[in-house]
Amino acid sequence: MVTAAYLTKYFSRITIIESDDVLNDTLMKATPNEILDYRCGLENPGSIGRSGIAQIYQAHILEGEGFKIFSELFPRLYDKLFNEYNVRTYSLKNECRFTVNGTLLNQNLTEDMKWLGVDRFTLEIVLRKELCLQFGNQIEWKCKSRVTQLLVDQSLNMVKGVKYRCKENTGSSSFDMYGDFIIDCSGRNSSSTKWLKESLNLTVPTVQIHFGCGYVTYVGERYRTGNPSLDLMPVVFCTANTPDRNVGCYAVPIRTIKPTDTNSLGILSTNAVYCVNSEFSPNDSYE
Ligand SMILES: Cc1cc2nc3c(=O)[nH]c(=O)nc-3n(C[C@H](O)[C@H](O)[C@H](O)COP(=O)(O)OP(=O)(O)OC[C@H]3O[C@@H](n4cnc5c(N)ncnc54)[C@H](O)[C@@H]3O)c2cc1C
């Protein structure tokens, strides 16, 4: 979506081909509370049309620069998140405890950075609504449609378009779409390298890294522990430090809420315990 928003500066017509049903009413017309309910595990992503991103309920860190890019492309985004979704930003210098191997990292930052305290699921939905509102006349979505192949001109060594198929009619014929500029935004399971090899005999250099990391993630309300170095810090990170300490944990805020109890910090967080080398099996949906 960020790519599409950026390209509106340079292209008059942009088409997004997306295999999930991301414009369905359940996602697009959901109220802020309904979105939070879905995120809290009352619906699994597949049942509401969003199966394409297995990590959608996993906590995501949005680096400060990423937040700046979002704000430039979507000037109303932050106000919307703040006013309608009870999302706020946090100071990485003063409201975060980030420790690596027992060393506090963020206390001597020369420049403060903002942490956007929102879950990826909510952010994605709000971003999509903004994209449609802001650039609806330039961007066309083809949802429930899967790109299956590249259309190439072998004599020019050039990709000229893509073949895509409507997911609902499994037996249906595929469609061809040509474009002046084609970007693969299909994520970590992209087939582009395979397709480039098949169609143009082009070998894209790749490096395969074997890495195991297991998470257990859940959403919960933060309560006072009596330890000010935790209670005063809405954002808490303690990284794994293999091989000495193989378990890390974090608590990142996704909403401010009315405290339900005098001990509540009034913060709803995504909390995770993780382990490098997969000692805990991945379990994104555990709540
Ligand atoms: C457990 C986990 C934790 C992570 N934590 C972080 C983090 O903290 N911070 C961070 O910055 N990153 C994190 N990442 C990485 C981050 O999720 C990815 O880098 C990011 O999602 C990539 O964005 P994307 O838009 O390129 O692809 P995706 O978000 O994967 O989106 C790809 C889209 O393409 C669609 N699609 C796929 N194939 C096709 C096709 N053939 N035709 C049509 N549509 C298709 C999918 O439905 C999907 O909508 C994490 C990843 C995992 C797995």
154-202 pLDDT tens trace: 999 999 999 999 988 777 789 999 999 999 999 988 999 999 999 999 9
Closest-CA residue, ligand 1 atom 23, reads 187
pLDDT of residue 205: 93
Closest-CA residue, ligand 1 atom 33, reads 186
139 lines ligand 1 (CB under 6 A): no
Determine the distance separating the centroid of ligand 1 and the alpha carbon of 55, expressed in angstroms: 7
Determine the distance separating the centroid of ligand 1 and the alpha carbon of 37, expressed in angstroms: 22
- Give CA–CA dist 96/267, Å, rounded: 14
Closest-CA residue, ligand 1 atom 49, reads 52
Closest-CA residue, ligand 1 atom 22, reads 187
State the CB neighbour count (10 A cutoff) for residue 208.
Answer: 4
Tell me the best of 3, 17, 19, 182 to mutate to test the pocket of ligand 1, counting ligand atoms within 8 Å of each CB and taking the most.
19
pLDDT of residue 283: 56
Q: Is 259 exposed, middle or buried (0-12, 13-18, 19+ CB in 10 A)?
A: middle
pLDDT of residue 286: 40
Closest-CA residue, ligand 1 atom 6, reads 60
pLDDT of residue 287: 38
33 Cβ neighbours under 8 A, 6+ residues apart: none
CA dihedral (100, 102, 106, 108) positive or negative: negative
Closest-CA residue, ligand 1 atom 26, reads 187
Closest-CA residue, ligand 1 atom 29, reads 187
Closest-CA residue, ligand 1 atom 15, reads 60
Give the chain's residues under pLDDT 70. Answer: 278-287
CB 222 within 8 A of CB 267: yes
Quick one: which atom of ligand 1 is closest to the CA of 51?
47
Closest-CA residue, ligand 1 atom 27, reads 187
58 lines ligand 1 (CB under 6 A): yes
Determine the distance separating the centroid of ligand 1 and the alpha carbon of 187, expressed in angstroms: 5
146 lines ligand 1 (CB under 6 A): yes
167 Cβ neighbours under 8 A, 6+ residues apart: 19, 144, 145, 146
- Give phi and psi for 217, each to the nearest 5: -120, 140
212 lines ligand 1 (CB under 6 A): no
20 lines ligand 1 (CB under 6 A): yes
Strand order in the sheet with 96-100: 103-104, 96-100, 235-238, 247-256, 264-276, 213-223
213 lines ligand 1 (CB under 6 A): no
pLDDT of residue 151: 98
Quick one: which atom of ligand 1 is closest to the CA of 215?
1
